[in-house]
Chains A and B, each alone.
Chain A
Amino acid sequence: MIDRIRALLEQQPMISVDFNTITDDTNLYDAGLTSFATVQVMLALEEEFNIEFPEAMLTRRTFSSLANVADAVSRLTQRAA
Chain B
Amino acid sequence: MDAKTFDAKSLLDTLFDKSILFKTGVDGLYGRSGVFEDVIERFERLVTSIGAPDKATRIHFPPGMSRATLEGSGYMKSFPQLAGCVHSFMGGEREHAQLLGMMAAGEDWTELQQATNVVLTPAACYPLYPTVAARGPVPDDGVLFELSSYCFRHEPSKDPARMQLFRMREFVRIGTAEQVCAFRESWLERGKAMIESLDLPCEVDLANDPFFGRGGKMMANNQRDEGLKFELLIPVTSIEKPTACLSFNYHRDHFGQTWGLKFADGSLCHSACVGFGLERVALALFRHHGPEVEAWPASVRDTLWGN
Residues of chain A at the chain B interface (Cβ within 8 Å): 35-36, 38-39, 42-43, 53, 55, 58-60, 63
* Distance in angstroms between the alpha carbons of A38 and B215 in the assembled complex: 8
Q: A39-B215, A42-B215, A43-B215 are in contact. Are A59 and B221 (CB under 8 A)?
A: yes
A-B contact pairs, 6 of them (CB 8 A): A36-B78, A38-B215, A42-B218, A43-B215, A55-B214, A59-B218
Q: Which of B78, B217, B225 contacts A55 (CB 8 A)?
A: B217
Residues on the B chain within 8 Å of A39, using CB: 213, 215-216, 218-219
- B74 located at the interface, meaning its Cβ lies under 8 Å from any Cβ of chain A in the complex: yes
Please determine whether A59 and B77 come into contact, CB atoms closer than 8 angstroms: no
Which chain B residues numbered 216 to 232 have a C-beta less than 8 Å away from chain A?
216-219, 221-222, 225-226
Please determine whether A58 and B74 come into contact, CB atoms closer than 8 angstroms: no
Residues of chain B at the chain A interface (Cβ within 8 Å): 74, 77-78, 213-219, 221-222, 225-226
* Distance in angstroms between the alpha carbons of A53 and B214 in the assembled complex: 9
Residues on the B chain within 8 Å of A59, using CB: 218, 221-222, 225
Residues on the A chain within 8 Å of B74, using CB: 36
Residues on the A chain within 8 Å of B216, using CB: 39
Residues on the A chain within 8 Å of B222, using CB: 35, 38, 59-60
The 3 A-B pairs with the shortest beta carbon distances in the complex, nearest first, are: A39-B215, A58-B218, A60-B222
* Distance in angstroms between the alpha carbons of A60 and B218 in the assembled complex: 7
- Smallest CB–CB gap between A32 and chain B, Å? 11
- Smallest CB–CB gap between B187 and chain A, Å? 24
Residues on the B chain within 8 Å of A55, using CB: 214, 217
Which residue from chain B places its CB closest to the CB of A60 in the assembled complex?
B222
Interface of chain B, main secondary structure:
helix
- Smallest CB–CB gap between A42 and chain B, Å? 6
* Distance in angstroms between the alpha carbons of A39 and B214 in the assembled complex: 8
- Smallest CB–CB gap between B55 and chain A, Å? 34
* Distance in angstroms between the alpha carbons of A55 and B77 in the assembled complex: 19
- Smallest CB–CB gap between A22 and chain B, Å? 20
- Smallest CB–CB gap between B71 and chain A, Å? 14
- Smallest CB–CB gap between B256 and chain A, Å? 13
Which residue from chain A places its CB closest to the CB of B224 in the assembled complex?
A59
User: Which of B74, B215, B218 counts the most chain A CB atoms within 10 A?
Assistant: B218
Residues on the A chain within 8 Å of B215, using CB: 36, 38-39, 42-43, 58
* Distance in angstroms between the alpha carbons of A65 and B217 in the assembled complex: 19
Residues on the B chain within 8 Å of A43, using CB: 215
Which residue from chain A places its CB closest to the CB of B74 in the assembled complex?
A36
Residues on the A chain within 8 Å of B77, using CB: 36
User: Which of A35, A38, A42, A59 counts the most chain B CB atoms within 10 A?
Assistant: A35
Which residue from chain B places its CB closest to the CB of A62 in the assembled complex?
B218
Please determine whether A58 and B217 come into contact, CB atoms closer than 8 angstroms: yes
- Smallest CB–CB gap between B22 and chain A, Å? 40
Given contacts A58-B214, A59-B225, A60-B226, 9 further A-B contacts (CB under 8 A): A36-B215, A36-B219, A39-B213, A42-B214, A42-B218, A43-B215, A58-B218, A60-B221, A60-B222
Residues on the A chain within 8 Å of B218, using CB: 35, 38-39, 42, 58-60, 63
* Distance in angstroms between the alpha carbons of A42 and B213 in the assembled complex: 12
* Distance in angstroms between the alpha carbons of A42 and B215 in the assembled complex: 8
Which residue from chain A places its CB closest to the CB of B219 in the assembled complex?
A35
- Smallest CB–CB gap between B62 and chain A, Å? 28
- Smallest CB–CB gap between B80 and chain A, Å? 12
Residues on the A chain within 8 Å of B225, using CB: 59-60
